[in-house]
Structure 1
Amino acid sequence: MAEEFPFGALLRQFRSAADLTLEQLARASGVSDRAISDMERGVSRGPRVRTVEAIADGLALAGDDRVALLAAARDGRGAAGTPTASGLPPPRRVDDFTGRTAELAQVAEWLGGATAGTPSPVVMISGAPGVGKTSFAVRAALLHGPEEQLFLDLRGLDAEPLTPVAVLHRLIRAISPELRVVPRDTDEAAALWHTLIQGRPRVLVLDNAISESQVRRALPPRGPATVLITSRRTLGGLEGVRRLRLDPLPEDDAVALLAAIVEQGTAAPEASLRRIAELCVNVPLALRIAGNRLVSRPGWTVDDLIARLGAEERRIDALTAGDLQIRAAFTLSYQQLSAEARRLFRRLALVPGSSTGVELASVLAEEPVPVTEEALDELVDLSLLEQRADGRLAFHDLLRLYAEGELSREEAAADRAAAGRRRDDWLLDTAVAAGRCFEPGHGLTAAKAATVVEITSSDEADAWLRAEAENWLPALHQAATEGEDQRVIDVAESLHWYSDSWPMWPHWTEVFGLSTRAAERLADDRLRAEHLGYLAWVQIVCLNKPEEGLEYAREALDSAVRSGDRRQIGWAAYYVGWALSLQERWPEVIEYASRAEDDLRAADDREGVPNSLILRGLGLHGAGRFDEAIPVFERAIVRLTDPATAPPEYIAKFAEVTARAFLADLEIDLKRWPAALARCSDGIAAVERSGEASVRMIAALSRRALVHAHLGDAAAAQADLASLRALQEKAGEAATVTGRIAERVAEVERLAARHR
């Protein structure tokens, strides 16, 4: 039987009889599907005994069939004999290779100028599965020059990768086929290889390396030989090498590659190709599979393929064309991981957002942070996870879908649900702790209760809330979906004070919208008034939509009145007045500000009273009642600076700067220049005491420069403008001069020109 059927054909016959795909046999035997495919196609005619036995076990062969398969493999090893002088030619060139222009130029620069007197240039090319490392290396080798290329697949992800001495043997036989004996000792073989390659202009491509030791002895000590290594691993232990990581293609290059594949098979609109590229996350292997599927199925339209790829639960399986499988490419890497790293990889599919920090990964893995860091390093090293410049970790959508599939296959539904609950509990508990760092009366002591991550400053709290917003916000949505109304309220209330520090985040509408609806379900008018007030703040401050803000504020006032809570009544009236001030409805602003002051004073709200006074002063100013506005702002400053009535210090300082700025504007509008100068100087001193950002100091300096100019003190005006510009240059784009400030600066310049 072994004589009638060569090993590859016999193996294919047994696999077909067992009704197994290459992937299924790979899983059953532990031998990669790529290795099995090479055996069946005759590329590998003499596999090792242990490999064949593992395949026989996977096929459940016994008796004569098992003996026949082992005998055919033994005969194949005899026929294969010693490697011939094939020269180890590169694989067939891919004519539709697309993009990578900058990367190819970089490699050409690194390889250029190699001479016998210089160290041999070595470029280490790494990247995720399917990103096109081999094709890139072959293209780079061909572009390097007329030198002979030696291409050796190191079988790094096979069950039995080439050993270091086997690598050396194949290289030696490739350039010196006349040698009858090659040393079996690794050191002796390395010495012989280095002697043989010395002075020869060769481009050596060592493809699919698994470890540093596999390639280290094969690296020529001196040029003119050059080396390109590809690996899914980073091989960080290799010294003296240039490193290049390949990422998915840019969108335009991905579309161009698709177009090149399908151009002879079907006409495809560019918009459709862009959608396919997006679903393939611009990964070259996925793009090639998608293009091949479209070309090989004449009855399919582009929309048919998009529909198949658009179903997330089917996308990985849909990316299969013959023996090209995106799943198989991912599985080869997944099988290389330790048990801890495999579990973490699977559970990272439960991260709601596009990235994660180490702490959330630790919660999902149920391991201490140091253990989790080791597993993450393993994933990054094998290119199954990318560490971004900001330190956070992410993988693209195809790897996420693969991880989801492995999670469903290997872990019970109850375990997956429990991991999701732990994730959400930790995210929301930590969000509450971080948010309370900004709340008067709480501060850092509350944050230290958070598990896994310890927050010791408001800066750390701010950094965590921003970095993990893409994860804690979905957790908040999930809590709302599951009817955890009080939990939603608690999270939103803890973040209320923090929201002042990040007003431009576009998702505060979601946060306070969820909490408002939770308060409605709890039928609590006081809570509803409070959270409607937060929504009004979002519309007024974050979105600059005073009309919508006014609607929420009026709803808040109605709920507050029903609750009878004077503090909430006062704040709701304040929000109504604030929204009205943006519409310049000054008489109504004065009315609601006065109402707010009365109720907040009755509730002894230290923050609310001075803010309502400032709002009332603004209304009087807007109504042209300048002399009435001045004492109102002065009363606000007294409340803010008297320890018996002052709110928390950072609130008091911020509000004092605001009140003094309005006082200066009043005196300027009244053209009382000496009084205005005094007010401006007081305002600048208040900004200095507050430690406020440079934007408020720039505004204060622009006022004083204008007053100096009107008083005829051009030198003082120019000095303030010089200080203003220095602050602006230091702060950069955040301190761009616009609006009122720009108008003041322009007026100062006009006045200065008039006096020259």
Structure 2
Amino acid sequence: MERGRSLRPHRGTVTALGQGLQLDDAGHAELLAAARAARPGPSPAVPAAVSPYALPRGARDFVGRHRELAHLRTVVALAAANGGAAERATHPLAPPVVVVCGAPGSGKTTLALRLAEESASVFPDGAFLLDMQGLDDQPLSAEQAVVRLLDAWGVDDADLAPHSAEECLARYRTITSRLRAVLVLDNAGSEAQIRPLLPREGRLLVVVTSRRTLAGLEGVQRAELGALDDEESVSLLRAVVGAARVDAEPEAARSVTELCGHLPLALRVAANWVATRTNWSLQRLADRLADEDRRLDALSAGDLRVNAAFSLSYSRLDPLAARMFRLLSLVPGRDFGVPLAAVVAGVPLPDAEDQLEELLEAGLLMTSPGDRYRFHDLLRLYASARHRAEDGTTSAATQSRLRSWLLDTAVVAGRWYEPGFGTPPPDPGRLVALDDRDQALRWIKAEKDNWLSAFREAAENGEHARVTEVAEAMHWFSDNWVSWGNWTEIYRRSAEAAAALADLALEATHRNYLAWAHWACDHNHAAAVDAATRALGLATAAADVVQEAWAHVYLSWLRSAVDDLASAADHVSLAMELFDRADDINGYLTAANVTIRVLEKAGRTREALKTYQEVMDALASPGNRDRISPSVRDVTTLVATHNVAFIHFNRGRWDAAVEALRSIRGQFEARGLYEQAGRVHLMLAHALAHLGKDSEAAAEYRAVLALQDRIPAAVLEEARTSLTGVVAGRPNPPTRFG
């Protein structure tokens, strides 16, 4: 608290104060209540807007590893230099890569974090950590890692969505060639995961941690971590427990280090326990470690036994914190926040926070970005073993409670984006604040692994209505996170659930969603056409006019993508008729915007302009004022104006094109749609150049170049070439666009 690292005293600190003051049980309870009362108000928690790939808090009492750190610092210096600018231009060098390998609990991640933290001044663009999940049944693929890192580096999801894995990788390599940062790829499982992520040029330092040596990676530096030596082990005890206590009992200190196998994780867990128990001697700790090692189940890391340290800290926990520790092993995701822990344990938020902080102080949990917590994988195994041994049949009830809460909250969060919903009704049991779209988006992303696992479990349990409810709630949200990579699975499962319910109209709805996912997310045209065609058949059989219309919209979109414009026009014309028959103004406007683009591509500009005017008239009609939500109205106006700008430009109506484009300039950027924003600036620049307004055109070309890391290389090159021509007094803008 004095150093500004915490805003409130943790439970373990209060306990230590109570012991130091020799308080009785009543006095200790009063002190704890006072500490709780000093906290900020008990408003529902919400994940902070923190990048999930920021570095977590490192160990402040890091010791030892002098030889390894000296080697790594040499690599840092090499990465920082990597030749001068002229040398890099003529003889580009691949940035150095370090693989830190060793047994579980040997401190690989801690060492990588220490290196990243102390190198901050050398790498001004920051440091990032991505868990490659190498020990999971489904490790993170290189393609998934690329998307997550591009997101961390400011490339918007909407800009990534239209591009293939190869194009995203090319963007990744462009950015890494310029980035001066540290990238920690933690917990790697194989060479195949890592190889595509290694930069070919630039000054990005990559540090990989793995239990394996990853011998198949060529041209990398390696630092293999074993157990600490005697001196380093004692130094770690001194750093955590205090020099005076350790130096007073040198023999007992050596016994403790030996009983912990000189493994950093085991040493830290044991030392954290005794550090807050000032009435414990190190000899008492050593005796307990020896006793626990004989009578508790073994948990090993290779040939290093660490169960003694875990068992000691666990057995001395407050009973409620011990129960929390066991139940957290049921959390399916990589990390979790206080609200989820409160649900797992069935306790109020303040109690959950107390218990999590006690586990953190005991070394049984680690921190994660955004006020979240996570297990070391060995400790998760240990917690799971204790849960099986002590809790018996409570798992099913706890898992059901957790699943229900995750899916209920996912529905509420997703519906922020669904027309007709918005602000959810008050619910004191919700535990998280979902008062606006940003909070909803942050929760969905922060808890993605947890609610997705709950969704999968519901599907496998045959909870068909529940599956379709969650998928429906996420439908409008999914447009805001196309690159996530799991929407196809979600809508495949929801379509199967609807089929199991024998509800033709519901299945048609989710087959339509699946068509969107196949094309927008996977770029699988054939699968998307199949899903939309099946949706059309189901909707027709169910006499569901709205879903028939949506199927025609998707089929028009898909036919247009392969330049089958006659078929695309037929489908979207049918869609507009059906939406009109159903009096669905929101669907009608969507179809109308698709129609404008299809007709323009087909050269039927007069019909396209007529449709554009119909859209604008519908938006202006007083009868539609309350039927069109503000968000739909704004997006419809933006897309329609963007589409009509193409028509004006391609007909050589430069003044009309400039007027349309200036009215929407900046709106795509505000929505994070940077590729579309770049094309608006580029088209506007070309139109201005045609009008002889060279200085204004140059400003728009420069606006395209300012988006250099967020838009395709072809758009940048066109802007760069055109700017050169304008500056030289030889503008040569194209007469067609898009």
Matching residue's letter, 1:426? W
- TM alignment of 1:137-536, pairs within 5 A: 138=230, 140=232, 170=249, 232-233=271-272, 321=303, 324-413=304-393, 415-446=394-425, 448=427, 451-536=430-515
How far residue 473 of structure 1 moved from its aligned partner, in angstroms, is 1.0
For residues 680 and 337 of structure 2, the distance between their equivalents in structure 1, rounded to whole angstroms, comes to 40
CA gap 1:749/1:566 in 2 versus in 1, 3 angstroms: farther
Which structure's relative contact order is higher, taking Cα pairs within 8 Å and 6+ residues apart?
A: 2
Aligned to 2:728: 753
Deviation digits for residues 327-378 of structure 1, max 9, x if unmatched?
A: 3332122223221111111111100111111111111111111111111111
Deviation digits for residues 476-499 of structure 1, max 9, x if unmatched?
A: 111112211111111111111111
For residues 667 and 745 of structure 1, the distance between their equivalents in structure 2, rounded to whole angstroms, comes to 24
Matching residue's letter, 2:642? A
1:706 is aligned, of 686, 693, 696, to 686
For residues 461 and 153 of structure 1, the distance between their equivalents in structure 2, rounded to whole angstroms, comes to 43
How far residue 206 of structure 1 moved from its aligned partner, in angstroms, is 12
Matching residue's letter, 1:518? A
For residues 494 and 629 of structure 2, the distance between their equivalents in structure 1, rounded to whole angstroms, comes to 26
Aligned to 2:8: none
Aligned to 1:666: 647
Q: Which runs of 5+ in 2 are unaligned?
A: 1-64, 76-102, 111-225, 259-266, 278-296, 732-738
2:630 is aligned, of 603, 624, 649, to 649
Q: In 2, are the aligned partners of 1:316 and 1:398 still within 8 Å (CA)?
A: no
Query: Could you tell me the TM-score, scaled by structure 1's length?
Result: 0.59
CA gap 1:679/1:338 in 2 versus in 1, 3 angstroms: same
Aligned to 1:115: none
**Larger CA deviation: 739-748 vs 622-631:** 739-748
2:662 is aligned, of 675, 681, 685, to 681
Larger radius of gyration: 1
For residues 231 and 569 of structure 2, the distance between their equivalents in structure 1, rounded to whole angstroms, comes to 74
Deviation digits for residues 607-629 of structure 1, max 9, x if unmatched?
A: 11111112122221121222322
How far residue 580 of structure 1 moved from its aligned partner, in angstroms, is 1.1
For residues 340 and 395 of structure 2, the distance between their equivalents in structure 1, rounded to whole angstroms, comes to 15
Matching residue's letter, 1:332? L
Q: In 2, are the aligned partners of 1:653 and 1:686 still within 8 Å (CA)?
A: no
Matching residue's letter, 1:385? L
Q: In 2, are the aligned partners of 1:362 and 1:369 still within 8 Å (CA)?
A: yes
How far residue 457 of structure 1 moved from its aligned partner, in angstroms, is 1.5
Matching residue's letter, 1:404? S
Percentage of matched positions with identical amino acids:
30
Query: Could you tell me the TM-score, scaled by structure 2's length?
Result: 0.60
- TM alignment of 1:56-67, pairs within 5 A: none
How far residue 708 of structure 1 moved from its aligned partner, in angstroms, is 0.8
For residues 611 and 533 of structure 2, the distance between their equivalents in structure 1, rounded to whole angstroms, comes to 25
- TM alignment of 1:60-99, pairs within 5 A: 99=68
**Secondary structure at 1:452's aligned position in 2?**
coil
CA gap 1:105/1:587 in 2 versus in 1, 3 angstroms: closer
**Secondary structure at 2:509's aligned position in 1?**
helix
Q: In 2, are the aligned partners of 1:525 and 1:559 still within 8 Å (CA)?
A: yes
CA gap 1:337/1:643 in 2 versus in 1, 3 angstroms: farther
Aligned to 1:81: none
Aligned to 1:35: none
Q: In 1, are the aligned partners of 2:491 and 2:514 still within 8 Å (CA)?
A: yes
For residues 556 and 152 of structure 1, the distance between their equivalents in structure 2, rounded to whole angstroms, comes to 63
CA gap 1:458/1:513 in 2 versus in 1, 3 angstroms: same
Q: In 1, are the aligned partners of 2:423 and 2:435 still within 8 Å (CA)?
A: yes
Matching residue's letter, 1:347? L
Aligned to 1:607: 586
Q: How many residues align?
A: 496
CA gap 1:155/1:565 in 2 versus in 1, 3 angstroms: closer
How far residue 684 of structure 1 moved from its aligned partner, in angstroms, is 2.9
**Secondary structure at 1:393's aligned position in 2?**
strand
- TM alignment of 1:709-724, pairs within 5 A: 709-724=689-704
For residues 426 and 326 of structure 2, the distance between their equivalents in structure 1, rounded to whole angstroms, comes to 30
Give the aligned CA root-mean-square deviation in angstroms.
Answer: 4.0
For residues 537 and 441 of structure 1, the distance between their equivalents in structure 2, rounded to whole angstroms, comes to 21
2:517 is aligned, of 534, 538, 552, to 538
Aligned to 2:119: none
Matching residue's letter, 2:611? V
Q: Which runs of 5+ in 1 are unaligned?
A: 1-95, 107-126, 142-149, 175-203, 210-227, 239-314
Aligned to 2:614: 635
Q: In 1, are the aligned partners of 2:678 and 2:711 still within 8 Å (CA)?
A: no
How far residue 434 of structure 1 moved from its aligned partner, in angstroms, is 0.9
For residues 622 and 490 of structure 1, the distance between their equivalents in structure 2, rounded to whole angstroms, comes to 38
Aligned to 1:60: none
For residues 586 and 352 of structure 1, the distance between their equivalents in structure 2, rounded to whole angstroms, comes to 46
For residues 365 and 453 of structure 2, the distance between their equivalents in structure 1, rounded to whole angstroms, comes to 22
Matching residue's letter, 2:604? R
For residues 700 and 355 of structure 1, the distance between their equivalents in structure 2, rounded to whole angstroms, comes to 40
CA gap 1:718/1:155 in 2 versus in 1, 3 angstroms: closer
How far residue 391 of structure 1 moved from its aligned partner, in angstroms, is 2.4
